[in-house]
Structure 1
């Protein structure tokens, strides 16, 4: 998998490693993502919703990632 340093920095992309699995497993995971088979679930909500969001997290009701928007 190729990784553009410029795009990574400008788009705020993070590459996270794992201590689990082999290099082959990692290569297969990258191939899986490159094929478009990975669906990201991201919700953006205002920071004022933080108390409700934490309650939802504790209740196990959040699927994916939650992004708090600090800009009004």
Structure 2
């Protein structure tokens, strides 16, 4: 039986957060969540919004979500 996969989504808004610990901390939380729930964290596809604010006059351009194979 194949284990269920999880994909991480890491996001922060400011250059200050990029220079800080945001990425490492969020990645650690995703890794722990996957382990705690019996999921395989697929490291080949990680979604990231680095330095993209959720506020502003126009929404940020984000990659489209893709359906998982076989779905």
Q: Which TM-score band (shorter chain)?
A: under 0.3
- TM-score with structure 2 length normalisation? 0.28
- Please state which structure has a larger fraction of its residues in helix: 1
With a CA cutoff of 8 Å and minimum separation of 6, indicate the structure with the bigger relative contact order: 2
Larger radius of gyration: 1
